[in-house]
Amino acid sequence: CSSINDNLYIIGDGELKYSIKKEIGNSANIIMSGQLTSEETADFLDGIDCIIISSFSEAGPLVGVEAMAAAKIILSTEVGAMPNRLSGTVNDFWFNPESYESFKIQFEKIKSLKSLTIKNISTANRDRYLQFHSRRKVGDKYLFAVRTVVNSKT
């Protein structure tokens, strides 16, 4: 499923951090990092090919929007807003977080993609971000909501 050149980066300070550190031990191609700043996140996303979102429960997650903005392929559970965010793209790489086989199938599917397909999926993710999730779009929606509430009280 993976090659010697594959690296897995585990980012964050969640409740499983210490259990995961114990599990991976000194594995050479698994790199664990704590929480990243915004600047570190942007730099990190520039250096990777694909992001894996393995959450069981989350409202967002924000990292999904960040990955879309960075034009990355996303391998994800159907957590939070992710199905809606990726709706209309060809980024259709969903796995069950309780099934290694489910993950493996999707991971191998991504690994087998041709360069042009990767570019097309990545571009579609970026376009979807710009259309619905950019800072400007979210700000406009927020202002509309505030104006609606304020105007309904007058």
Please tell me whether residue 7 adopts helix, strand or coil conformation.
coil
pLDDT in tens, 78-137: 999 999 999 989 999 999 999 999 999 999 999 999 999 999 999 999 999 999 988 888
Q: What is the DSSP letter of 94?
A: B
Instruction: Tell me whether strands 8-11 and 30-33 are parallel, antiparallel or unpaired.
Output: parallel
Given this model, what pLDDT does residue 28 score? 86
Output the pTM of the full model. 0.83
On the CB side of 3, how many CA atoms lie within 13 Å of its CA?
Answer: 3
**Sign of the C-alpha dihedral computed for residues 139, 37, 44 and 27 taken in this order:** negative
Q: Token pair 């393995």 is at which residue?
A: 54
State how far the Cα of 96 lies from the Cα of 78, in Å rounded to an integer.
8
